[in-house]
Structure 1
Amino acid sequence: MENTVLHKANTRGHANHGWLDSHHSFSFANYYNPDRMHFGVLRVLNDDRVDAGMGFGTHPHDNMEIISIPLEGDLEHKDSMGNTAVIKKGDIQVMSAGTGIYHSEYNKNKDQLTKFLQIWVYPNKKNVTPRYDQITLNEADRHNTLQQILSPDANDEGVWIHQDAWFHLGRFDKDFSTAYDLKKSGNGIYAFVIKGDVNIGTIQLSERDALGIWDTNSITITANTQDAEILIIEVPMSV
């Protein structure tokens, strides 16, 4: 029997630092909710808005897989591995923090805010050598289909992480319907609506709502509005 947990957009943690407006799907920083610690190995899903000319100063991470998905504008990344890069809408960025890295992220634009999703996933291997990667995707390849943006396999589509996880993005016409079949038995799905209204099975979701589903092999996604966008995160359920 499939199990679900519904996270409505307005039930997320919220921190407004002025330059940074962040909504937290799971406990993060000063937001603590014992019922929202993680979904399987998915530890963080932050929906961030960074003002023009502002950003995150240099800070450390370790033993976490960190994925950034820009939704609007761009973000300059610098890290202790010597990487300097700019990520923008259409890009996917991944870091394996492993034994430890330091990095900073800035919106260097003087007149445009940046919106991005930052996602943390517990790795299945500890203390790996840190690494950084980013790719640019063709956003047209997710029109009325689910475009794979992340997997456990370096030779597969998208970026890869140290975990049996798969991420897909889709942008759908109104009334378009598609199925997502889980890649690995025992995994669960955390579906996050970026834009518009969709149904997952019989459950209706609006913009920035999320639905966690486990003990299932497949889900059906139907768009109720034009250009509905959804992020499908498939992850192992045991940490």
Structure 2
Amino acid sequence: MIDIRKSEQRGRASFGWLDSRHTFSFGHYHDPDQMGFSALRVINDDVVKPSAGFDTHGHRDMEIISYVLDGVIEHKDSEGNIQSLPAGEFQLMSAGKGIYHSEYNGSTDSDLRFLQIWIQPNKRGGTPSYQQKDFGKAPGFTVIATPDGRDGTLNIKQNARLLQLILENDSSETFNPEMGSNVYVHVVAGELSVNDVVLSGGDGAKVSGLYQVCLKNNGAENVTALIFDLP
């Protein structure tokens, strides 16, 4: 089964300094039919004004992934990590038993755009941790996060994988889930068909009960998408 979540159906939060689109229920936006999918709880498409950001706040028992699309995130947390996260890089913060952090737009004149992703862990508590890496833009699938951090991937506390998909014009790939029968596809840019269902930037698809997913670039520009292989 494929259940489509169109970009324009997402919730929206606008606070002047922040304009955010919520794929799933978050903050003041609540939809009982959109509480997440499997262990995937949040995908927020955040645009942050120059020199603005999220003041220090806390999390626990959540795997929080940031993927920068434009600009630079300035990150600081209670574990002593002070990092800059430029466009194209992924950050994974495992909140564990509790962590405080702030995230700011590092530019004084340009917007920051990033995806904020939350995945519920299968292990509670533990020492918080921080990981950051640029995985490049190679065509095809690039594995970003795995449960064991194999082959230089980010180590996530869940039986889940996150993959980046880049499809050039008139190219296609077949995805075979490894973690279960739940797959979530989030299109960052381009026009992508998922088993012949066409998605555009900001759209998503909940795929369940299928053990092969056909992904094809339907447009003239490159497709960038995130593939969540979920339990």
Q: Which category of TM-score, normalised to the shorter sequence, fits these structures?
A: over 0.9
Give the length in aligned residue pairs. 230
Moved beyond 3 Å, runs of 4+: none
**TM superposition score normalised by structure 2:** 0.97
So what's the TM-score if we normalise by structure 1? 0.94
Computed over aligned residues only, the root mean square deviation of the Cα atoms, in angstroms, reads 1.0
Q: Is 1:208 aligned to 2:202, yes or no?
A: yes
* Partner of residue 212, structure 2: 218
Matched, 1:112 2:110: yes
**Which of 18, 40, 43 is the equivalent residue of 1:42?**
40
Match runs of 1:25-64 below 5 Å: 25-64=23-62
Deviation at 1:103, TM superposition (A): 0.2
Is 1:170 aligned to residue 171 of structure 2?
Answer: no
Offset from partner CA, 1:38-97 (integer Å, 9 cap, x none): 100100000001111100000000000000000111100000001100101121100110
Q: CA deviation at 1:154?
A: 2.0
2:228 alignment counterpart: 233
Deviates more, 1:155-164 or 1:174-183: 155-164
CA distance in 2, matches of 1:166, 1:32: 27
Contact 2:71 2:106 in 1 (8 A): no
**1:169, 1:93 → 2: CA distance?**
14
* In 1, Cα distance between equivalents of 2:130 and 2:17: 26
- Distance in 1 between the 2:158 and 2:38 partners? 12
Match of 1:72 in 2: 70
1:17 maps to what in 2?
15
SS of the residue corresponding to residue 216 of structure 2 reads strand
> Which residue identity does 1:57 align to in structure 2?
D
Q: Aligned equivalents of 1:173 and 1:94: distance in 2?
A: 27
Match for residue 132 of structure 2 among 130, 134, 144: 134
Shift of 1:18: 1.0
Unaligned stretches of 5+ residues in structure 1? none
Amino acid at match of 2:163: H
CA distance in 2, matches of 1:165, 1:156: 15
Q: Distance in 1 between matches of 2:151 and 2:117?
A: 20
Tell me the secondary structure at the aligned position of residue 156 of structure 1.
Answer: helix
Q: CA deviation at 1:153?
A: 1.3
| C-alpha deviation, 1:4, in angstroms | 1.9
